[in-house]
Each structure stands twice: as C-alpha cells, then as structure tokens.
Amino acid sequence: MMVHPIQSLATDKMMEEEKKCLRFLERDKPHYAPQFLRYISAGRNGILHKMASAVLREGLYEKAEDVHAEDGRLIQKVLRFPEYSIVIPIRAVYAFNRIETNGNIIRIDDQRETVVQTASELAGWLFSKEEYPNLGRFQEELDNGTANLTLAYAARSLSGIGEEKGSLFFEQLVTEGHHLHPGAKTKLGLSYKDAFRYSPEFGHTFPVRFVAVRKSLWKSNEPEPVQTYYPDLFEQGQKELTNRGYQAEEFVLVPIHEWQYFHAIPSIYEGEIAEGDVLLLEDVSLPAKATSSFRTVVPASGSGPALKLAVNSQMTSTVRSISPQTAGNAAVVSELLQTIFDRESFDGFVPLYELGGGSFDSEDTLKKRNLTMLMREDIDPFLEEGEEAIAGMALYADDPDKKGTVLQRRVREFAVAENMSPEDAAPAFFREYARTILPPYLTLMIKYGVALEGHLQNSVPVFRNGHLTRFFFRDWGGTRFYKQRLEARGYRPDFMEGSVSVTEDVAAMHHKLYYSVFQNHIGEIIRQLVEETGTEEEDFWLIVKEICGETCSRMGEEVPEEAEIDRDFLKQKTVMHKSLTKMRLYGEKEEWFSEVSNPLYEGEEG
C-alpha cells in the first residue's frame, strides 16, 4: 500500500502512545518529529484497517447487513448494535473470507455520525470486557502498534530505502509487518527508542552481545556452535573469561540480543549472575542487523550464520522468547530433513538448515526460555549471479520503483522476459511459482507427516528476470510432525521431551499446513496478482487445484491411504482460519479458529 503524508494532527488530540513516541523523537531524533506528526493519520489508518478486515474475516459480530453495488460487489458492512451502528467500507473480497476495507469507518447513532479514528477506538465500540476479558490489553497493543507504524512511515519518508542489494535489503523493506494481523507492529516491553534501534525497517547496525553460561546449566545437542561458526569471537570470550579469573573451559559462549542483554538477563538470572554461573561478557560483540523477524539477526559483515535470539517482548501475539524444544530440536530436524531430501527429488525447493541451538537448563519457565538461541544457514552464499532472494513478507511491500508491490514488479519482469502481456503473464508466473512449492509441501505432509509452517515470513523465493529459480524455506519452530506417519516411514527422531511440534492428531498437521501455506502464503500471492492484472481469482485457484490433484494422485501410488485422507481434507467445503483477533481478545495461548469457505472445494454448491 502506497502511503502518503497528510495534514498534521494537533498534539492535544494524540493518543498517549503517540505522545510517548513523539517525546522520544523530540529528545533524541528531533528532525524526525515533524514527519511523525505528518504520518499520524496514515499510521492510524494502517492498523485500523488491519483490525477492521480481521473482524470481518473472523466474523466477530452478531448482527450485520451487507450493502452491494449494482454489479453485485459487496461495498459496505453495517454492524448493528442496540444504540449505534458501525459502517465499514469494503474495497474487495477474496478467498477465505479475506475482506479488504478502506476509507472512513463511521459510527452512527441517533444524534450524529462520527469517523472512527483508531483501531483501539473501533475495538471499544465492537467488544465488551464482559465478553472479552483481555480487551483492555488488546487496545494497548493496538495503540502501541499504531505509534510504531507511524514511526516506521516517518523514518522511511526521511531515510528512503537504501541500495537495492542483497537479501538483507528485502528483509528490511517490510514496513507494515504481518499482512493479516492487527497487532502487526505491536512491540510491548520495548521503548520507542528501542524499537527505533532494533526494528528491521530502520536498518540500523547494533551489537549482538554474549553471555557465558556454566556448561552444567546449558542444554544443547551441539557443544560449542560459537566456536564452530564464529571462532574469533569464541577466542575473545575465552580470553575475557581467563582475564576475569574463571576457568574458560567450564563455560559455553551464548549470543544474546542486545535488548535482552540489558533489559532481561540481569533481572531474570540475578541469582545465577551473583553465583557466577551466568556471566555478562563486556569485550565480545558481533555487529549485526535485524531481518524481517525482529529477533533473527545476521552479521553486518555478511559472513556467518543467522542468529535467532530470545527477546522477552510481545510482538504481534507472542512474547518472542524461544522454547528449549525449538532450540534443542534445531539440529534434530535438520538431520531429519536432510535424510528425507536425499530420498526425494524436490527441484528448486531448498531448506535453510538450522545448525544448532541451546537453552538454559531450568524448570523455571522464564529462565529456560530467555537464555536460548539457535543458528541457521544464511542464504547469501547460495545465491548465483543475477538472483534476488526476496523475504516472503517483502513481496507485499511497496517496490522501490513505486509502481506497485515487490511481487507485482517481478510479474512485470516475467512478462518482459517472456514477451507476454501482464494479463497473460500472471497465470504463467503463478503456475511456475505454485509448481515449485506445492508438491514438496504436500509430499512432506502426505508421505512423512511433516507439515512445515510455510507462511511468508518463513519463505524466501529467489527470482531472476521475474522467473522463480529456487525457493528457500526456513524456521522449524512452528512445524508439526505427525508421529504415526513419520514412524511408518522408519523415522524416530530424538525430539526433546515436551515438544509441541510432535503431534498424534492428524488435524493439527492439516491445519498447520493449510493455514500457513494456502491461506497466509498462496492466498496473498493470488490477491496481488488479481490486483495487478484484473484476472479472476478463481483462475488462480484452479491452478492450485490442478497441482494439488496431481500431487495427491502421485502420492496415492506410494501411500494410498494417507493420500486419500489428505485429498479429502484439501477439498472439503470449509476450512478453519486462524482467528488472530479473537486470540488477542481472550488473551489465551490456545489457538482460536473461524470457519471459512475453501477455494479448493470440489462438490455441489448449495
């Protein structure tokens, strides 16, 4: 979405979170303050419409009326309450009940009509604390996210987007965050100074810090990943430990996000620091930059594995600490996938392997989740001349050429390369994309019971002249492993005890793959292609049906029972959609789902 500044808002009409952010800018970055004021309405509208779209998508209302244009398009949703109504303008409707809202959202009562200004205000009109106990907290999250989005818009308007070079450029191009979540920019626990320093869209370099943990308190399948992949830093750590009078061989060196180093480690591990079991190192650091995932950073030098580091702050729905199971299973899952990929032929579908990880050994939840890390292969060494590795979330970001999104530009490049019109190129482009990613995702699920979390943040498509040359996937933390199928293929990985990734429920496997791959990922690709070319959405879903049918038929020759079960799941009339807003309204860790129509449905309508 192209964002333009509009008239500044008077400071007496600002939300408290906006005032906090403005005070930070006036104190530390005064040249940003005027731009922040100019972009307040844009920031508010960004989160407001994510919120409104989510409410309609998830069906979080009781009484509503639809208003249609003469051509049958849905153009308004009127939500009815005893004493007022909320009128929400609608721009477009896509598969899975994805409703795109725009324009002014109006509250109407017997006395007047007023424009709803913010997402938290809309939440206050739509929901009650009696029904949703976490409403107040959710409104705080929305206000925080609103101010953060305004800050991002202001910074981008001043600093531009930098040189279009390397995969990190696209990792940091994402200004608006998650494309479906109303809490896309929420960063509770971080000051605005912290958000400005560490968030990827600001492009800053900051040091990864290091902590030494006594080996008897460290749980890991890999003895010394820092020694293996960052030997110079390991030697610096050994030297500092020796100079401080410790036996260096008794400790393991652990990379820590700088925010965590200053704001979480000293308080959470106060006792261990006092006992000399956890040591904050002062002379060891690694200059790094954030990727599209705040807590995953890469060396600023461009050399070395990516680091996924615990951050004890809520972003979107989740506090971004890391479970011991995610860290401990890193190498286990990498080994499992390597053996599977040795057996299968997945042309162009490539894992970024996790190289190792570890966690503090404790029964205390805070302690075992906040001194946790893992290392992952960096993508840049795998790239060839002329290839662009584009973080999946950047596909819906505004392209530097200011002519649509990053994905839409690649479609135009595809059209030029193939001497096709954009309208003819879009289906061909999509078929190439879908044929690269869908058969591997489905084969892993059907044959092995491995449901990768294939949403856009875990995806890095690689393009050359608009053609998809390869597709990299990353991050095993959200994967579901259906135990029965894995064991049927002869695999019994040594997963850590308590791993939520391991399930005996086939539905958990199905929902994980379907939501992340088809709804979050493929649905967004199709939406952009429809908006770029005007091609009917159904034309793209027919391609998806075709590829899924071919893959299920091929799998039916090897594992007929599993293929039939999964084929039936894929083509059922309705599917469950993750209710991101409802989850925040209840404030519970369990996942909530709403039922939506399935574009892959094969059967009689009615």
What is the per-residue pLDDT across 292-326, written as a single tens digit (0 to 9) for each? Answer: 989 999 999 999 999 999 998 876 667 678 888 99
For residue 352, what pLDDT is reported?
A: 96
* Domain boundaries along the sequence of the chain: 11-162, 192-360, 384-571
As a whole number of angstroms, the distance between CA 317 and CA 583 comes to: 8
165: pLDDT strictly greater than 70? no
As a whole number of angstroms, the distance between CA 153 and CA 176 comes to: 9
Q: Say how many C-beta atoms besides its own lie within 10 A of residue 75's C-beta.
A: 17
Residue-averaged pLDDT of the chain: 92
Average pLDDT on 536-558 reads 97
506: pLDDT strictly greater than 80? yes
Average pLDDT on 234-243 reads 97
CATH class of 11-162: alpha beta
- Band (362; pLDDT cuts 50, 70, 90): very high
Question: Which candidate, 602, 359, 346, 326, places its Cα nearest to that of 453?
Answer: 326
Written as one letter, the residue type at 211 is V
pLDDT in tens, 421-441: 989 999 999 999 999 999 999
More confident residue, 221 or 513: 513
For residue 11, what pLDDT is reported?
A: 53
Instruction: Annotate 137-191 with DSSP letters as a single string.
Output: HHHHHHHHHHHHHHHHHHHHHHH------HHHHHHT---S--SS-TTTT-EETS-
Question: Which candidate, 501, 506, 499, 500, places its Cα nearest to that of 485?
Answer: 506
Of 95-109, 269-283, 309-323, 464-478, minimum mean pLDDT range: 309-323
As a whole number of angstroms, the distance between CA 562 and CA 552 comes to: 9
As a whole number of angstroms, the distance between CA 162 and CA 108 comes to: 45
- The answer to whether 541 and 95 have CB atoms below 8 angstroms apart is yes
200: pLDDT strictly greater than 50? yes
Q: What's this model's pTM, rounded to 2 decimal places?
A: 0.93
More confident residue, 183 or 502: 502
Average pLDDT on 176-183 reads 86
Residue 202's φ and ψ, nearest 5 degrees, are -90, -15
For residue 223, what pLDDT is reported?
A: 75
384-571 classified as CATH 1.10.510.40: yes
Sign of CA dihedral 267, 271, 276, 278: negative
As a whole number of angstroms, the distance between CA 226 and CA 358 comes to: 11
CB contact set of 484 (below 8 Å; sequence gap of 6+): 449, 504, 506
Burial class (CB in 10 A: 0-12, 13-18, 19+), 256: buried
Average pLDDT on 207-217 reads 97
For residue 400, what pLDDT is reported?
A: 85
CB contact set of 230 (below 8 Å; sequence gap of 6+): 286, 304
For residue 579, what pLDDT is reported?
A: 86
CB contact set of 338 (below 8 Å; sequence gap of 6+): 353
- Band (164; pLDDT cuts 50, 70, 90): low
Q: Say how many C-beta atoms besides its own lie within 10 A of residue 70's C-beta.
A: 6
Top mean-pLDDT range of 327-331, 509-513, 588-592, 602-606: 509-513
Helix (H) or strand (E) holding 287: strand 278-290
For residue 7, what pLDDT is reported?
A: 44
